[in-house]
Amino acid sequence: MTTILTATKVNKRFGGLVAVNSVDFEIPEKAIVSMIGPNGAGKTTFFNCITGFGKCDEGEIVFEGTPIQRLRPDQISRLGISRTYQNIRLFAEMSALENILVGQHIFLHSSWVSAVIGTPKVHQEEKIALAEAQRLLDFVGLKGQGDMMARNLPYGAQRRLEIARALATKPKLLLLDEPSAGMNPRETEDLTAFIRRLRDELGITIFLIEHHMRVVMGISENITVLDYGEKIAEGTPTEIQRNPRVIEAYLGRGAATEGMANASDRFSNEKNSIQH
């Protein structure tokens, strides 16, 4: 299997604090992989390194053969990486449709002069873009809400709109930062199915950060665990559930030594309950 993204020895420091400490990481093409870890483990920082939000201090990130660690976010997005945010960051004072249209920015080429003159080419381009935006809106199940201001959409719809906006850039790799945060079990289930659809129907590689173990264990093919900025484990969901270092990181040293079996039961229980 070919890898779509390779990170080698990625380092990120904030002053004296090492937020990401020489992490090696790989994402196979058309896979769904996750990153988990306790709060403050450096997951979002690692995300930011990939998307160019906060440049990493050392190390190399290669996306489809192109080193991207020195590129600006807009250049990275042009290569085909898109993301959503832990705390929803929509363009609040713009309509849902406009939000998606901004996502299509990189595919539109009209200059401001031709826009003022209103050449037929611009009209054509806008028309196609609008149709595509409508299609994406329908795809995430927000049909007919295009004129709503983003800030007035209900929470779940905002999450979906954010994904639609990310999809508008036609990404090859989609990074989801805690997509199920603040969702009820029912919505979470829908979301899990939706993420699978993204991969199966659109062939997008998915990389997600998630706290919700049900989601992570349910859909990931590969899981990486971060703690204090270091990669402490990597493997399939089953392997991760059995890994003593992971259990230690999540539940403390005591749990790792005394209740190994118990703790791993708790992980697998969660996993089972999804399958039911």
Partner 1 sequence: MKKENFLWSAVKTGLIFGAIAIFLCFVGMVEVFSKRDVIEEIITLGQFVLLATMVSAGLVASRQTSSLLEKNTPVSNLVAGLVAGLLTGLILALLVVIGAQINLRAVFLNASPALYKLLTFDKGVGNVWILPTIGAVAGLIGAAYLLLPQILSRPITRSIFFVIFMALFSGLFRVIMINQGAGMSRAAKYIFGQTGVTSPGALIFFFGVILITIFWDFRGKAIQSGIASLPKGGQLSLRVIAIIVIVLIILLLPLASGPFIAQVIVTVALFVLMGLGLNITLGFAGLLDLGFVAFYAIGAYTVGLLTSYGPFGLQHIPFWVAVPIAVLVSMGAGFMLGLPVLGIRGDYLAIATLGFGEIVRLLAGSDFLAPFFGGPQGIIGIQKPCLGLLEPFVKVDVPRICNGIELGKPQDIYYIAVASALLIAFAAWRLRESRLGRAWMSIREDEDVAEALGVNLIQTKLLAYMLGAAMAGLGGAIFATLIGSIFATSMQLLVSINVVSLIIVGGMGSIPGVIVGAIALIGLPELLREISEFRYLLYGMTLIIMMITKPEGLWPSQATRRELHHAEVEAGVKV
Out of 115, 128, 131, 193, point to the residue binding partner 1 (CB under 8 A): 115
Q: 161 to 220, contacts with partner 1 by CB under 8 A? A: 165-166, 168-169
Out of 9, 14, 70, 92, point to the residue binding partner 1 (CB under 8 A): 92
Out of 37, 42, 103, 237, point to the residue binding partner 1 (CB under 8 A): 103
Other beta carbons less than 10 A from residue 195's beta carbon: 24
Query: Which residues is 33 bridged to in the sheet?
Result: 207, 222
Backbone angles phi, psi at 207, to 5 degrees: -130, 115
Letters for 28-57 (x = contact with partner 1 by CB under 8 A, - = none) are: -----------------------xxx----
* Cβ neighbours of residue 255 closer than 8 Å, sequence gap 6 or more: 247, 248, 262, 263
Q: Does 77 bind partner 1 (CB under 8 A)?
A: yes
Give the range of 22-30, 92-100, 215-223, 256-264 binding partner 1 by CB under 8 A: 92-100
Out of 70, 72, 135, 143, point to the residue binding partner 1 (CB under 8 A): 72
Give the nearer residue to partner 1 in terms of CB position, either 97 or 219. Answer: 97
Element (H, E) at 52: none
Q: 134 to 163, contacts with partner 1 by CB under 8 A? A: 147-149, 152
- Say which residue the tokens 């390779």 belong to: 6
Structure tokens at 26: 């790989």
Q: Does 101 bind partner 1 (CB under 8 A)?
A: yes
Q: Where are the alpha helices (DSSP H) in the chain?
A: 43-51, 73-79, 96-103, 112-117, 120-139, 155-167, 185-202, 213-219, 237-242, 244-251, 253-257, 260-275
Q: Does 123 bind partner 1 (CB under 8 A)?
A: no
Out of 28, 40, 73, 235, point to the residue binding partner 1 (CB under 8 A): 73
